A = this chain, B = another copy of it.
Amino acid sequence: MTAAKTPRTQPSEVRRRDLLEAAAALFLQQGFDATPVDEIVLRAGMSKGLFYHYFSSKQEILAALREQFIQQFHDRVQGALEQAPEDDWVQRLTCWIRASVQGYRDTLDMHDLVFSDHIRSNYQGERNVVTEPLHRILSEGQNAGVWSVADVDLTAWVIYQGMHGAVDNMGLETAEQWAALEDNLVTLFVSMLGAKLPHPYK
């Protein structure tokens, strides 16, 4: 005979998510260094002991936010790709570029928070998660004869880093500038692959 367990007030996943949300809000508002664990648990309405049940340190909750950021970025791009034709590789590449630029545009503050120097990370592993869909588009387009590049890995890095560098360094502000960036990156990279853009492309 086993005793029925007292049900906890909240499922474990919900409490963990509440902690992540509270930490993210406070870090963004006042900075990582200026936010003690006490404030995070206060905002999440939990005990400090419960915090340490989920995370061993403030660094670890930031690392979890980073993992969540990467996963959400990946899911967002993947979701956009599901709307694109399965066998139109130029269109899929275009879609990847646009969804990626929009993904960064909409999460710049969080991006800068989770990729700050406060935590070390599995750089290569994280990059692989983010670049994998791009890599797949390039490989499949190559196999379908839409383009023919000497090195698919290299081409994926150039597109990923070129896109990311542009987002980081162009100092974009207006919606028009962001939209122009999407268009210009699509033109550059489709041209780089020696493929043709359909006219009009979207």
Contacts and interface: CB of A to CB of B under 8 A. Distances in A.
Contacts of A154: 166, 170, 181, 184-185, 188
A166 B170 contact: no
A187 to B, nearest CB: 7
Interface in A139-160: 149-151, 153-155, 157-160
Contacts of A155: 188
A169 B127 contact: yes
A144 B160 CA distance: 29
A51 to B, nearest CB: 28
Q: What's the interface size class on A, roughly? A: 20 to 34
Contact of A157 (B166, B187, B191, B193): B166
Contact of A194 (B124, B165, B183, B191): B191
A165 B170 contact: no
Contacts of A89: none
Nearest to A169: B157
Interface string A161-194: 1111110011000000000110111011101111
Which 3 residue pairs across A and B have the least CB separation, nearest first?
A161-B165, A158-B162, A192-B192
Interface of A: 117, 124, 127, 149-151, 153-155, 157-166, 169-170, 180-181, 183-185, 187-189, 191-194
